[in-house]
Amino acid sequence: MRVRNIIFTAVLLMNFIFSGAANAWWNEDWPNRVQVNINAQSLVELGDQAVVDAPVLVRLHTGNFTDFFYFNQNVSDLRFIDSDDITPLKFHVEKFDLVNQMMFVWVKLPKISSKDQGRFIRMYYGNTNAVPAEDKAGSLDVNQVAAFHFDGSNSSVVDSSAYTQTAELMNAVRQVASLIGPGITMDGEAYINVVASPSLQFLPAKGFAFSTWIKPKGAQQDAWLFSHKTSMGELILGIDKSSLYARWKNIDGSQLQTPSTALLTPDTWQHVALNLDQQRLAVFVNGIEMASIDVGVPAFDAGVLTLGGGEGVESEVHGYIGEIDEVALFALSRQPQWFTLASKTQGQAATVLNVAEAEQLGGNAETSYFTEILKSVSLDGWLVIGSLMIMAVVSWLVVVSKWLMLNRMQKDNKAFMDEFHKLKTSDTSSLDADDEEEYGESDFLNTVFGKHDHYQSSPIYHLYHQGVYELKQRVGVSVGASANYLLSSQSISAIKATLDTTLVRESQKLNSNMVLLTIAISGGPFLGLLGTVLGVMITFAAIAVAGDVNINAIAPGVSAALMTTVAGLFVAIPALFAYNYLSVRIKDMVFDMDIFVDEFISKIAEQHS
């Protein structure tokens, strides 16, 4: 028994320890976090080789993340922590767009491989007092001598690496939204000039590498994506027709070129790379080595480095036509796994990193689906929902006020009719009294909160009061038991016409504001449908820009868009039920008034005709 108790206690203790570790919070000054899971199944091409110090791209958009408004305006609160919830990871933000709700962040992982199934990192945010912790240079590999995200001014390009290369745009057009944030469009004459720097030289013992994302527009006519002209020769990565090639051209005019087996797909984003070491020159397309050649390239200085070809490289024109984004230069030859990882984590169809549901410090681990949907609603959706809520409040006020008024009226109608039926034919006007409206022209206030000493809230009494007034106008004020003044049939018809007019006026009062319920019934669903259509359009547009096409990216945005239709039905359905109920009660009251008019005219005709 004692042994079993010890084992049971140990199990509980281990469960407590491990559950505590799993739910540990890196720093309680950061109230929000989200887990970014690594899908190792998408990295099978890496084999058993791990990639060390690799910057990976974390894409956040409305399809996978909803807490954009929790960030500080300058994103100073952003932190990335390894799965141990202890080790900070270096990162830098390429783009943060609060209006369109998207963010592109580069995070440096110490190591990543196909064996990382179940591994994750966490992003913390929400600390309003946090200071910026971005580290552009530190979040890149130490051997990366240039990293062009193509942000910056219209004429220059900012280098995010520690080497701060200087690059100038020569007629190239900057695109605000490209594959990853901003990019560049070239027309065959534009190019980018990278100023010579000692860090750009080639040493055979270390090697050299170039990688970028391109979207070529149609077939190219010997277009140069990359050209490095030095005193020892010229290194080129180009496209001829639809084939990617790499070429080394010696100063004596002789040259070596890779076979034309690296085929590209026009008008499609794809990752291309050049890798040079002591013995081989190879080209990669989407992380796969497509062609190579044995070549011994001597060491060369920085020289003239140009992106996109164009005039100024040499007398011929080798301009590239299309888009280009995310240019990286390395003063070191890279393993094939490096280019494979880049293509797997940066492209539009990247599935390596998956963003999980957001968590709050001290919050429940289980969040309702309804709460998650509300968190995914965009600004336009909230505008529609807000309009619908105003419509709902107005319709509910109409329903409540009408219900209270009808209850009061029905009570006074019954009390008045009970007394009216007790009257003798010769004493028709004895229930009449002078009316005084306590709350002015407000039917609701007078009916619900006004005086009720002589049936003031009864529409039937209003008919009776008007009938007695018309009768006195014709036979005098002393209409009593001893009075027997005769009325012509025309006078009785005139009194009845007046009572019919009063009945119409009373019916209009009863039906006042009911049109607001019909607006809610018919307009609510259509307004909700408008919000849904707009939400779905924006969701798909955001997905197209961000490039994440999996179901996890689509479902939150679509479900949030459908929330506006639910809000529209939430307005319309109660209004529909209430409208039908109130309409029946109003019709019954109008019928009672119509019957009373006939009774009243009958009494008058019996006494005075």
Q: Is 333:143 a contact under the CB 8 Å cutoff?
A: no
Q: Is 390:396 a contact under the CB 8 Å cutoff?
A: no
Closest CA to 95 of 15, 179, 32, 38: 179
Q: Is 407:452 a contact under the CB 8 Å cutoff?
A: no
Q: How far apart are CA 360 and CA 364, in angstroms?
A: 8
pTM for the full predicted model: 0.61
H or E element in which residue 321 lies: strand 321-330
User: In b/e form, how buried is each residue of 181-215, taking b as 16+ CB within 10 angstroms?
Assistant: bbbbbbebbbbbbbebbebbbbebeebbbbbbbbb
pLDDT at 8: 40
**Amino acid identity for residue 68 in this structure:** F
Lowest mean pLDDT among 358-372, 417-431, 534-548, 571-585: 358-372
Q: How far apart are CA 56 and CA 140, in angstroms?
A: 9
pLDDT at 601: 84
pLDDT beyond 50 at 37: yes
Lowest mean pLDDT among 82-96, 221-235, 532-546: 532-546
Q: Residue 167, Cα to own-chain centre: how many angstroms?
A: 36
pLDDT beyond 70 at 347: yes
pLDDT tier, 283 (very low <50, low <70, confident <90, very high otherwise): very high
Q: How far apart are CA 314 and CA 327, in angstroms?
A: 22
- Residues 523-559 have pLDDT tens digits of 999 999 988 888 888 878 777 776 655 565 677 778 7
Q: How far apart are CA 361 and CA 100, in angstroms?
A: 27
The residues with which 103 forms a beta bridge, in sequence order, are 60, 96
pLDDT tier, 482 (very low <50, low <70, confident <90, very high otherwise): very low
Averaged pLDDT for residues 430-442: 63
Closest CA to 124 of 8, 26, 230, 3: 26
Q: Which residue has the higher pLDDT, 211 or 232?
A: 211
Q: Residue 15, Cα to own-chain centre: how many angstroms?
A: 38
pLDDT at 246: 95
Q: Is 398:404 a contact under the CB 8 Å cutoff?
A: no
**Amino acid identity for residue 466 in this structure:** Q
pLDDT at 153: 64
Lowest mean pLDDT among 4-18, 222-236, 279-293: 4-18
Q: How far apart are CA 533 and CA 526, in angstroms?
A: 10
Percentage of the chain beyond pLDDT 90 is 40
Q: Are strands 280-285 and 288-294 parallel, antiparallel or unpaired?
A: antiparallel
pLDDT beyond 80 at 440: no
Averaged pLDDT for residues 224-249: 92
Q: Is 150:184 a contact under the CB 8 Å cutoff?
A: yes
pLDDT at 210: 96
Closest CA to 101 of 535, 494, 458, 598: 535
pLDDT at 298: 87
Q: Is 332:209 a contact under the CB 8 Å cutoff?
A: yes
- CA dihedral for 338, 341, 345, 346, sign (positive or negative): positive
Length of the chain: 609
The residues with which 32 forms a beta bridge, in sequence order, are 125, 360
Q: Is 345:353 a contact under the CB 8 Å cutoff?
A: yes
The three-point CA angle 37-41-46 to 5° equals 110
Q: How far apart are CA 506 and CA 463, in angstroms?
A: 9
pLDDT beyond 50 at 200: yes
The two structure tokens encoding residue 32? 């929000």
| CB < 8 Å & 24+ apart, contacts of 396-403 | 396/574, 398/513, 398/514, 398/516, 398/517, 399/517, 399/574, 399/575, 399/578, 399/582, 401/444, 401/448, 401/513, 402/513, 402/514, 402/582, 403/582
Q: Are strands 280-285 and 270-276 parallel, antiparallel or unpaired?
A: antiparallel
Averaged pLDDT for residues 73-95: 93
- Residues 119-178 have pLDDT tens digits of 899 999 999 999 999 999 899 999 999 999 987 666 778 899 999 898 888 888 888 889
**Amino acid identity for residue 602 in this structure:** S
pLDDT tier, 12 (very low <50, low <70, confident <90, very high otherwise): very low
CA neighbours closer than 13 Å in the CB half-sphere of residue 469: 12
pLDDT at 46: 84
Angle separating helix axes 459-475 and 489-511, nearest 10 degrees: 150
The two structure tokens encoding residue 470? 């018309």
Averaged pLDDT for residues 474-485: 55
Across the chain, mean pLDDT equals 83
pLDDT at 392: 92
The residues with which 159 forms a beta bridge, in sequence order, are 148
Q: How far apart are CA 218 and CA 152, in angstroms?
A: 28
Most confident of 21-25, 78-82, 455-459, 472-476: 78-82
The residues with which 208 forms a beta bridge, in sequence order, are 276
pLDDT at 368: 56
Most confident of 198-202, 257-261, 503-507, 605-609: 257-261
Cβ contacts of 222 within 8 Å, gap of 6 or more:
238, 239, 240, 318
Domains of the chain: 22-141 (no CATH), 144-331 (2.60.120.200), 368-609 (no CATH)
pLDDT at 239: 95
Lowest mean pLDDT among 77-86, 467-476, 593-602: 467-476
